Amino acid sequence: MTSETFVTAIFLVTAIIAAGVLVNAIFPSIYQASETFVAGSHEMDDRMRTDIRVINTALHSSDDTAYIWIKNTGVNPIQENLISGFDIFLGETGQYQRLTYVEGGVPDAGEWRFILYDDNGNDLWDRGETLEIIAKAGVVSSGDRIVFQVVLQNGVRRSTEFTAV
């Protein structure tokens, strides 16, 4: 009888140790997978709540300056200091380029700047507020087809085509 108890106790201890080893081997993988899922769903939620719409465009061939007005139509506000990090692409169809951000003044060829019409003065591009992009792509002639694209830091992007006047 004691030998059966001793054997049963050894099997029980072995089973507990095996279960502990199994949990220690599998738990980190499960934890890492859940962390990845949470980070991915947070990023997707941010993208879904961020939306913009190009509402008007104009490019004057006399001075090659483009004016693009964009409305924040998403739930997420965007900090004004992040706007300078947007990727702005502008130019003729098939020949557009990424422009460089400059502060104030009139942009030169290959540069852009912005004006935020911050209705409530909170330094955020809130839903319903308008952002004006002033950019120069290079030499443009009247009637040229122009491509404009903006890409936000979280990957949301919008593009439009219009004709230079």
Provide the domain limits for residue 88. 51-163
Same domain, 65 and 143: yes
Same domain, 33 and 63: no
Cβ burial, residue 137 (10 Å; 0-12/13-18/19+): buried
- How far CA 38 is from CA of 30, 32, 35, 75, in Å, comes to 12, 10, 5, 20
Same domain, 125 and 150: yes
Same domain, 88 and 73: yes
State CA 48 to chain mean position distance: 10
Smallest CA-to-CA distance from 117 within 101, 105, 109, 128 is with 128
Same domain, 95 and 40: no
Same domain, 102 and 135: yes
End residue of a domain, out of 11, 29, 49: 49
Tally the domains of the chain: 2
Please report which helix (H) or strand (E) contains residue 55, including its range. strand 52-60
What's the whole-model pTM score? 0.72
Tens of pLDDT, residues 22-61: 777 776 777 676 666 666 666 666 666 788 999 999 988 7
Smallest CA-to-CA distance from 74 within 38, 44, 46, 41 is with 46
Same domain, 55 and 132: yes
CATH number at residue 55: 2.60.40.10
Tens of pLDDT, residues 1-31: 577 777 788 878 888 888 888 777 776 777 6
- pLDDT, residue 93, reads 80
Same domain, 149 and 70: yes
